[in-house]
Each structure stands twice: as structure tokens, then as C-alpha cells.
Amino acid sequence: MTAISMNMHHLENISLRPYNTFGIDVKARFFSEAHSEEDVVILAKNHREDDRPLLILGGGSNILFTKDYPGMVLKISTKGIRVIKEDETSVWVKASAGEAWDDLVKFCVVRGWGGLENLSAIPGNAGTSPVQNIGAYGVEMKDTFCELEAFDLESNRKMTFSNEDCGFSYRDSIFKSQNKGRFIILNVTFCLSKNPILHLDYGNIREELNAMKVVQPGISDVRETVCRIRSLKLPDPAVTGNAGSFFKNPFLSSQQYEVLKHNFPDIVSYLQDGKIKLSAAWMIEQCGWKGKRIGNVGVHEAQPLVLVNNGNATGLEIINLSNDIRQLVSQKFGIMLEPEVNFV
């Protein structure tokens, strides 16, 4: 068997509570942390020689553990952000998979490189951002994504994926759907603009900028505003366990939307990619769930999309709450909400 890097140590029966933002207390039978791409490749190759299941863990911000994990959990903790190319208008930035996403955003914004500022303050790591094509305030990761490198557990080799190769769609990619669990993302490269175009018309970004009396905003103003909005609407995982938005916003055709709007004239919606995106938060609130608490779990009082662990909740308690919410929304609006969080 290939030798393990001196920086890697296999631990046994380790609590995963510190490694998931929901704060669910389950154990991993085996646990290891990779601090270099070499560590990742070595452990992945070793994994092919045994029958233990393997779970790749980034920032733990989009995962809900429902039970102890019987195999190996590999925590990706690789670091590094560097410019690999630039010209008069653009700059290409490569980030290691273990870099905190918001650290990457900050790195780019302070240098005046635009494209990621609307995605400020999103928890998680750079390497997990392509998995569900993270998005916020009218911007998605795919808008600036250039390419990524990943290790293929089936062919035992590194591969490069372009934007098109990743099959990005709303909160989805090939890494979340048809090729789930096959690839370990090693690094991600973004193409950012030196002359950024600001996106201010989603949510209340422009309203907040006006309140701050910012007449000619730049990307740093947008980042500051997004961070403030998110801090007011979303609970801090270090205080209250959560995974951010638990549900996806559903999309409808224009025809489906008109029928629903006839019955619910105040329904909140947005136009995106030729379809109507509904506000799942609005529908959840209309069903009376906003701020509701049931034992160890509940719905956040400021953002109904966020389910919270009020103390010692189990993953199954969170799932049961989400199922109750989905059922009531379906009964009222005829729409079955789809979870954004991955269940393990």
C-alpha cells in the first residue's frame, strides 16, 4: 500500500460535530485531513485498495448527517490562492479546494477584481462551490467559473473540467448529480473582471446602498452590503447550527405562474433564465412556519429558508421538520420544495 504523507494521520471514531455547520453530533469510523493535493491523491489511491466508503468533506456547510459514518471521512484543508494569468481586462485566480470561500471573495474584492462580490459571506470552501453552483443576489458561481482540477476515483487520475464540462444549472452540477462521489475537487479557477459590472437589482442591495448614501458604489460597497444583509438575516453557525438555505427556490413556466398568481396575487417571484423563480421563503412563511420551534429544531425567525438546530438536534429531527414544511407548502401551493442540503 502507498505510504501516507507525514502530514496525514488517520483518526478513529471522531465526532463530526466541529466539521458540519448544523452541529450534528455523529461519528466517523475513520477521519483524515489533507493539507496538500498530494495528500488527497495518496489517500484516494489507498482508498481503491479497501472497501470502506469515502466521504469528502469541505466546509461542512451544505451537509446534514443523519447517522454515524461507517467509512473514511477526508477533510480537505488545502490552502493557496494565486493569479495564474491576466490581461488588460481580466485576471484568472486559482484557489485550492480547502480555501474558505469568503476568504477567496475578499482576496479578489480588495484587489478590485469583480465577479464574486455578490457571493460574499457564503459559508463553505472554494472546492465545494462548483458542486451545487452556489449563488446569491442574482449571481451564480458559474458566471465567473473558468475550470477546475479534480481527481477521478474511478480512473485514478487527475482531470480538468471546463465550465461546459461541469453541467451547471440552478444549484446543481455533474458533481452533485450523475457523478456524485466520483471526483475529489482539488482546485478551482475563476476569471474575474478588472472593469466589473455591478449587480444591484436583486434583493435589497440597492436599497441598502441608498440607505448608506453610497452614490457611486464599487465592488467593495457591494460586498459590505451583502455581508451586512446576510448577517441580519442568517444565523451564525457558531452560535446556532444551520446550513443556510435548506430549500431550493422552485422554477415555474409562465403559464404555471399565471395560474398560481391568480390564486395568490402577492406571491413573490423573480425572472431568471426565461422562467419564473418563486420565493420558497415566502411560501414557507405563508404556511406559518417562520420562527416556529419544535423541540430541538426550528425555522429561523428572520429567514424561513433556514432550518436551525437549537441545541442537540439529530439529523433525523431536521429531516422530519423539513418534510412537514414541504407537505404544508405542497398542500397550499401545489409545489413540492426540493432540499438544497445533502443528506448523509
Catalytic positions, written as ranges: 171, 245, 340
Q: Cα(47)–Cα(153) distance, rounded to whole angstroms?
A: 9
Taking alpha carbons only, the member of 322, 139, 136, 167 closest to residue 247 is 322
Please give the Cα distance from 214 to 209 (Å, whole number). 5
HSE on the CB side for 238, CA within 13 Å? 2
C-alpha triplet 290, 295, 297: angle, nearest 5°: 50
Q: Is beta strand 139-140 parallel, antiparallel or unpaired with respect to 293-294?
A: unpaired
Residue 148 · residue 188 · CB < 8 Å: yes
What is the spatial distance between Cα 197 and Cα 81, in angstroms, rounded to a whole number? 23
**Residue partners of 199: CB distance under 8 A and separation at least 6:** 118, 137, 138, 139, 205, 222
Q: What angle do CA 301, 303, 307 make, to 5 degrees?
A: 80
